Amino acid sequence: MEEFIEIIGEEAGPTSVILAGVHGDERGGIEALQKLLPTLKIEKGRVFLGYGNPRAIKANKRFTDANLNRMFKPDSLLSEEEKNSYEYSRAQFIKKYLDQSDALLDLHASYLPDGKPFIICEPIARDIVDFLPVQTVVFGFDQIQPGGTDYYMNKRGGVGICVECGYLDDASSIQVASESILSFLGAIGHSKSANRPLTRSYFSIYEMYMTKTDSFTLAKPFVDFERILAGQLIGVDGDKEVRAQKESIVLFARDCKKVGEEAFLLGEQKNSLAC
C-alpha cells in the first residue's frame, strides 16, 4: 500500500492524482478505490491513485504522529515535532506525485453521524465542480486553514479538490466517493463524462478558532452547516465564553484538550463560487 498506482491512457492528456486514506479511519474513499481499481481505465493522460497514510489505515486511526492533512504547508509553519513525524515524511513522498500533476481529488469523510457530503475547493476549480455529484461547495480554506493536499496543489498552480463524502460509518459514503472519482476523471478529460446540473449551495469560510487553553468544550453538539446567530455561545475555552460575532454557519466543531487545536470553522453563504 506504500506506493502509488499509475494508469496511463492511450492518448496524451493531463496528469491527475486521486488520494484516499489521508486520514486512515475515513474508509469510504479507501473502499471506493479498492472497488474501482481492478477495472478502472482511462482514455487520455495519466492518473496516479494512492492511499495517503498507510500506517494510519492499517491502525484504523486518523493519524499516527500528526495530522497528514496539515503537513503540506511550508516547513517554517511546522513545529519540530511535526517535522519529525511519520506523516511529514509521508507528505514529502506524496508531493513527488502532486508535483507532476495538474489536478488532485482527495477523498475524506465526516466523524459526525449527521455529516453530509460537501466539496472543498477554491474558485479555480469551478469548471470541475460542475461535474461532481455533490451539491454543497465550500471555499476559502486556503487562507484560513492551510496545509492540506488541496492547498498544496493550488499553491503550485494546479487544482486541488477535496470531497467530504459523508459520515465515515455510512455505506453511502463509499458510493459518493466512487461517483466522485469517475466524475472527476471525466471533468479533467481522462474519460467521457457529462456535467451534473445540480442546484448548488456555496459557502465561504472566514474564521478558524484555535484554542487558547487545554480545555475547550462546545456549548452543545453542532452539525456541520448548522446556522448560528450573532452572539450565540459556541463553546467555553478555559473560563472564557466564545461567541459568534455575526450570523454564520459552523463546520468541524469539536471539543479540544490542547492549546492551539482547531476547534471550529465559521462561514457564510454566498451566491457563487467566487473570490
β pairing state of 159-167 and 226-228: unpaired
* Residue linked to cell 448548522: 226
Domains and CATH numbers, the chain: 5-188 (3.40.630.10), 204-270 (2.40.50.100)
Distance CA 56, CA 42 (A): 29
Query: DSSP readout, 39-61?
Result: G---SEEEEEEEES-HHHHHHTS
Distance CA 28, CA 176 (A): 8
Distance CA 138, CA 45 (A): 28
**3-state helix, strand and coil shares in percent for the chain, rounded to the nearest 5:** 30, 30, 40
* CB distance 142 to 161 below 8 Å: no
Distance CA 65, CA 86 (A): 6
Q: For each of the chain's 275 residues, which pLDDT tens digit applies?
A: 557 999 999 999 999 999 999 999 999 999 999 999 999 999 999 999 999 999 999 999 999 999 999 999 999 999 999 999 999 999 999 999 999 999 999 999 999 898 999 999 999 999 999 999 999 999 999 999 999 999 999 999 999 999 999 999 999 999 999 999 999 999 999 999 888 889 999 999 999 999 999 999 999 999 999 999 999 999 999 999 999 999 999 999 999 999 999 999 999 999 999 86
pTM for this prediction: 0.95
Task: Give exposure, 79-91, as e/b (b: 16+ Cβ within 10 Å).
Answer: eeebeebbbbebb
Distance CA 99, CA 136 (A): 28
